[in-house]
Amino acid sequence: MRVKSKKVLMGAVVAALVTAGSVGSILAQDKPVIATVVKISGIPWFDRMETGVKAFAEQNPDVVASQSGPATADAAQQLQIVQDLVAKGVKALAVVPMDPAVLEGTLKRAMERGTIVVTHEADNQVNTNVDVEAFNNDAYGTALNERLAECMGKKGKWTTFVGSLGSRTHLQWVGAGEANAKKYPDMQLVDSNNESFDDANGTYEKAKEILRKHPDLKGFQTSAGNDVLGVGRAIDEAGLSGKVCLVGTGLPNPSADLLETGAITAIGFWDPKYAGMAMNSIAKLLVNGKEITDGMDLGVEGYNKVTVTKGAGAGLLVVGNGMVLVDKSTYKERLF
């Protein structure tokens, strides 16, 4: 028994080493690989980003661009993918961190190994060459809240949703929203910063609970891509469409029905397609040894004249102007 298992083991190890030696010398990747890693795969937001990554790959045949992401929303799973890609030897990483803090150690090691790191939705990421943001987060949060205040008639109870308390951009948006609402003394924030985990069903349940707890609630400001769907469904089912305002980040296509019924007042977004392209475009510039300068045109819609400042670490912070805010009457112009 023991002997047999040892034989199997020895044989396999020898075979593995031989294969490794022979194949390793033949294959050498000549085109630089840019790997995009998203928070979670299989949801509309990051599917849209993938179309951007694919479009970029088509426009730039001299690089290999691809996208991957964990099947569950867990920072540890994303960490594993990033680590494997670094070990695989990709030239550049374009990461949308689930939780920037968790990735710091691994991204640091990646950069020490010469991998170029570009991040998105993480302007506090220390270990990155460039963090690219679609727009100024405070301005976006303020714009969402201003639209909400307008719908609510500048008075009444309102609440906020974030993807998770670790999602820094989400907290920035609702933070800017809260600051904006202070202008209107009749607006009263209740039970703020509910966590949605970007899960429409969970958000739906939570929104129902909040509507039960506060029957006089007038407005929701949401952050993660699926939140408007969950909250919108709760509003719709409660027959409160048009009475309760809902403004949040969302995509036009999934939100179309709820925009039509009036359950969703307005959605704000930046097009993840162009964000994906912008990340890859910056990664390619860095791979080719180019510099990123203020006012530069990345050749991507919404990123034609980017603002470049110093980032949280040694890297740069690149901000585009890709904010879009649409409602029932205008969403069809941006349908994706």
Partner 1 sequence: MRKTGGQLIVLVAINCLVLLVGAAISGGSFLSIFNLQSMASQVPEIGLLAIGVMLAMCAGNGGMDLSGIALANLSGVLSAVLVTSVVSGTEHPAAFTFAYIAVAIAIGFLGGLMNGLLIARLNITPILCTLGTQMAFTGLAVVVSDGKAVSVGSPEPLSSIGNGLLFQIPIGFLIFAAAAVLMAGLLKYTPYGFWLMLTGTNPKAALYAGFPKSRVIITTYALSGTLSGLAGVVIAARNVNVKWDYGSSYLLIAILVAVMAGVRPEGGYGRVICVVLAAVALQLLSSVLNFGGLSNFVRDFAWGALLLTFLAVGRYDLVGILFPGNRQRAALMRTPHASKRES
List the one residue from 76, 179, 190, 335 that touches partner 1 (CB under 8 A). 76
124 DSSP assignment: T
The distance of closest approach from Cβ of residue 8 to partner 1 in the complex, given in angstroms and rounded to an integer, is: 6
The distance of closest approach from Cβ of residue 176 to partner 1 in the complex, given in angstroms and rounded to an integer, is: 19
Stretch that binds partner 1, among 6-14, 211-219, 287-295, 323-331 (CB under 8 A): 6-14
Work out the angle between the directed axes of helices 168-181 and 137-152 (0-180°, nearest 10). 50
What length is written for the chain?
A: 336
Residues 99 to 118: which contact partner 1 by CB under 8 A? 99, 101-106, 108-109, 113
The distance of closest approach from Cβ of residue 9 to partner 1 in the complex, given in angstroms and rounded to an integer, is: 5
Q: Is 16 in the site for partner 1 (CB under 8 A)?
A: yes
Residues 154 to 213: which contact partner 1 by CB under 8 A? 164-166
What would the x/- binding string for partner 1 be over residues 258 to 297, using CB under 8 A?
Answer: ----------------------------------------
**C-alpha to C-alpha distance for 135 and 89, rounded to whole angstroms:** 31
Q: Which residues pair with 308 in a beta bridge?
A: 318
| Binding footprint of partner 1, residue count (CB under 8 A) | 57
Neighbours of 15 (CB within 10 A): 10
Q: Is 28 in the site for partner 1 (CB under 8 A)?
A: yes
Q: Which stretches within the chain are classed as H helix?
A: 2-26, 44-59, 75-88, 100-112, 137-152, 168-181, 200-213, 227-237, 252-261, 272-287
Stretch that binds partner 1, among 81-89, 115-123, 270-278, 288-296 (CB under 8 A): 81-89
Q: Is 5 in the site for partner 1 (CB under 8 A)?
A: yes
The answer to whether 321 touches 305, Cβ cutoff 8 Å, is yes
Dihedral angle sign, alpha carbons of residues 37, 40, 46, 51:
positive
Nearer to partner 1, 87 or 179 (CB): 87
**C-alpha to C-alpha distance for 133 and 121, rounded to whole angstroms:** 6
Decide the pairing of beta strands 130-133 and 116-120.
parallel
Q: Is 15 in the site for partner 1 (CB under 8 A)?
A: yes
List the one residue from 4, 62, 289, 329 that touches partner 1 (CB under 8 A). 4
Tokens representing residue 18 in the block: 């031989």
Which residues in this chain contact partner 1 in the complex, by CB under 8 A? 1-2, 4-5, 8-9, 12-13, 15-17, 19-29, 41-42, 66, 68-72, 74-77, 79-81, 83-89, 99, 101-106, 108-109, 113, 164-166
